[in-house]
């Protein structure tokens, strides 16, 4: 497991830095000063923890600090805007996630265009979304679940952290594709996301 993690982090570091640098930057010995990685969420979550691991690994290998800066707020838009306004010199990165793409449809007055103003450099992690049911639920397979949902419209709850989150949108897509009617309910303790 440790070998796989080391290989993964090695690939992430190499992939994250190579495309972002020009031949001139290589000649100058990038990085020659600290690099900021902006995480547009509050500390303590999976995205922030992953970024701290990557930042530490990059710092150890490249000999410059990779400073992790949390810029939460407005559904990740505050952090994204900070990166958009930073100089395009390869010393400020954004750890983007699904809310960044979702926000383009939720917020009408963003001060940036995510597609135009942010350039992807590397994919760091894939996060699968899975469908889970209580073991006592009468369906054990997806086709059985769809058949049950069709026979019981509006009687099945679909949990998500809130409106506009990836699990919520995946559930809505499932409902559309399967032609079923489920009721979205927010997971207890999760904070709702709402457009400004």
Using the predicted structure, report yes or no on whether residue 156 has a pLDDT greater than 80: yes
Provide mean pLDDT across the span 173-177. 95
Pair (144, 175) in one structural domain = yes
At 24 the pLDDT is: 47
pTM (two decimals): 0.65
Range among 11-20, 95-104, 149-158 with highest mean pLDDT value: 149-158
Range of the domain at 159: 128-196
At 140 the pLDDT is: 93
At 186 the pLDDT is: 76
180 against 24, higher pLDDT: 180
Rounded to whole angstroms, the Cα distance separating 162 from 191 reads 7
Pair (22, 65) in one structural domain = yes
34 against 15, higher pLDDT: 34
- CATH classification at residue 55: 3.40.190.150
Pair (183, 86) in one structural domain = no
At 124 the pLDDT is: 87
- Sign of the alpha-carbon dihedral angle for 191, 195, 158, 41: negative
Pair (94, 29) in one structural domain = yes
Report the domain count for the chain. 2
Confidence of residue 7 (pLDDT cuts 50, 70, 90): low
Using the predicted structure, report yes or no on whether residue 27 has a pLDDT greater than 90: no
129-148 tens-digit pLDDT: 889 999 999 999 999 999 99
Longest dimension (CA), the chain: 66
- Mean confidence (pLDDT) of the chain: 84
At 1 the pLDDT is: 47
Do 72 and 40 contact (CB within 8 A), yes or no? yes
Pair (101, 48) in one structural domain = yes
Rounded to whole angstroms, the Cα distance separating 152 from 191 reads 29
Rounded to whole angstroms, the Cα distance separating 194 from 196 reads 7
- CATH classification at residue 189: 3.40.190.10
46-103 tens-digit pLDDT: 889 999 999 999 999 999 999 999 999 988 999 999 999 999 999 999 999 888 888 8
Pair (83, 157) in one structural domain = no
How far is the first Cα of the chain from the last one, in angstroms, to the nearest whole number? 43
| Adjacency order of strands within the sheet including 35-39 | 66-70, 35-39, 92-94
At 2 the pLDDT is: 52
Do 160 and 186 contact (CB within 8 A), yes or no? yes
């Amino acid at each position: 497991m440790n070998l796989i993690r080391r290989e993964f982090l090695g690939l992430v570091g190499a992939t994250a830095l190579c495309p972002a640098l020009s031949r001139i930057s290589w000649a100058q010995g990038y990085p020659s000063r600290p690099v900021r990685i902006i995480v547009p969420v509050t500390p303590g979550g999976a995205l922030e923890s992953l970024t701290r691991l990557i930042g530490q690994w990059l710092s150890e290998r490249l000999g410059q600090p990779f400073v992790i800066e949390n810029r939460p707020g407005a559904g990740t838009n505050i952090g994204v805007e900070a990166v958009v306004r930073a100089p395009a010199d390869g010393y400020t990165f954004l750890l983007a996630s699904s809310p960044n793409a979702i926000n383009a449809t939720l917020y009408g007055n963003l001060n940036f265009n995510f597609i135009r103003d942010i350039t992807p450099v590397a994919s760091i992690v894939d996060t699968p979304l899975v469908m889970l049911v209580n073991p006592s639920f009468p369906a054990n397979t997806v086709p059985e679940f769809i058949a049950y949902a069709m026979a019981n419209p509006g009687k099945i709850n679909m949990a998500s952290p809130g409106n506009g989150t990836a699990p919520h949108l995946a559930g809505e897509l499932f409902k559309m594709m399967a032609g079923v009617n489920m009721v979205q309910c927010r997971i207890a303790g999760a904070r709702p996301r709402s457009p400004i």
